[in-house]
């Protein structure tokens, strides 16, 4: 059985057209959009035999749940994106690089994390199904195409999933302000998963206990913590730097 959701914004829809056009059922474009950028997108859709429908802005806002749709919304089949952790790990010819998000609820933060993951070669982003945001239209918009280039895997039991990663030889680093070691203390090698907690509470107890090692990001200013996407970017950059 197929599932349906909407994505919106030029970057998100154009990326989906180029990465996975078969998942697009139809595209809705605001009737007042006649600029060259829109015409190029329409040509790309038509070349992939995707039906383009002209409509008003209020209809787009209703479908996307957002008035910042940039005049374009796509109706996509969400099931076609499904991939499992085993699928990812079995296909790799290099050490795994994963991002685990424990209870991120802000769609803007998830979208930004997907962009960071794409930038630093992450093979998949993993998150729990419950008490966490999924791939909403806003996430697709903020991710600017990264939601189509980085697999997003929702899991029922995060602790069990982390145990599975360990069985595959993945070393799991959790991030916490009170960690004994900071990011500059040790060498990052082999298959790695970085785990980040929610915006409000950080890592949950069981998630924290499931990590192989806890790490803190050294900071010199007066602010006690960083945005989760910024933290992920710092840790993933250091991983990329050491492993390149």
Candidates 212, 79, 63; CA nearest to 138 is 63
Beta strands in the chain (DSSP E): 4-8, 24-30, 51-55, 72-77, 97-102, 124-128, 152-155, 171-175, 181-182, 192-197, 213-216
Cβ atoms of residues 188 and 242 within 8 Å: yes
**Has 158 been labeled as part of a binding site?**
no
**Has 226 been labeled as part of a binding site?**
yes
In this structure, what DSSP letter does residue 202 have? B
**CB burial class (10 A; 0-12, 13-18, 19+) of residue 167?**
exposed
**Has 76 been labeled as part of a binding site?**
no
Rounded Cα–Cα distance for residues 122 and 170 (Å): 13
Q: Known binding site: residues?
A: 197, 217, 226
Residues at the binding site for S-adenosyl-L-methionine are 197, 217, 226
């Amino acid at each position: 059985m197929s599932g349906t959701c909407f994505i919106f914004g030029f970057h998100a829809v154009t990326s989906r057209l180029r990465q996975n056009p078969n998942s697009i059922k139809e595209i809705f474009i605001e009737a007042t959009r006649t600029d060259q950028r829109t015409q190029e997108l329409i040509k790309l859709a038509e070349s992939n035999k995707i039906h383009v429908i002209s409509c008003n802005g209020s209809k787009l806002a209703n479908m996307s749940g957002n008035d910042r749709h940039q005049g374009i919304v796509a109706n996509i089949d969400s099931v076609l994106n499904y991939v499992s952790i085993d699928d990812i790990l079995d296909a790799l010819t290099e050490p795994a690089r994963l991002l685990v998000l424990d209870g991120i609820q802000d769609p803007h933060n998830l979208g930004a994390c997907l962009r960071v993951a794409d930038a630093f070669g992450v093979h998949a982003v993993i998150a729990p199904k419950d008490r966490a945001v999924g791939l909403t239209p806003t996430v697709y918009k903020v991710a600017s195409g990264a939601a189509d280039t980085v697999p997003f895997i929702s899991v029922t039991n995060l602790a069990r999933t982390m145990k599975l990663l360990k069985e595959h030889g993945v070393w799991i680093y959790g991030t916490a302000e009170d960690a004994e070691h900071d990011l500059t203390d040790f060498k990052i090698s082999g298959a790695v998963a970085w785990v980040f907690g929610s915006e409000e509470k950080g890592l949950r107890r069981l998630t924290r206990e499931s990590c192989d090692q806890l790490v803190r990001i050294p900071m010199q200013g007066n602010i006690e913590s960083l945005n989760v996407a910024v933290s992920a970017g710092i840790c993933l950059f250091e991983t990329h730097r050491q492993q390149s």
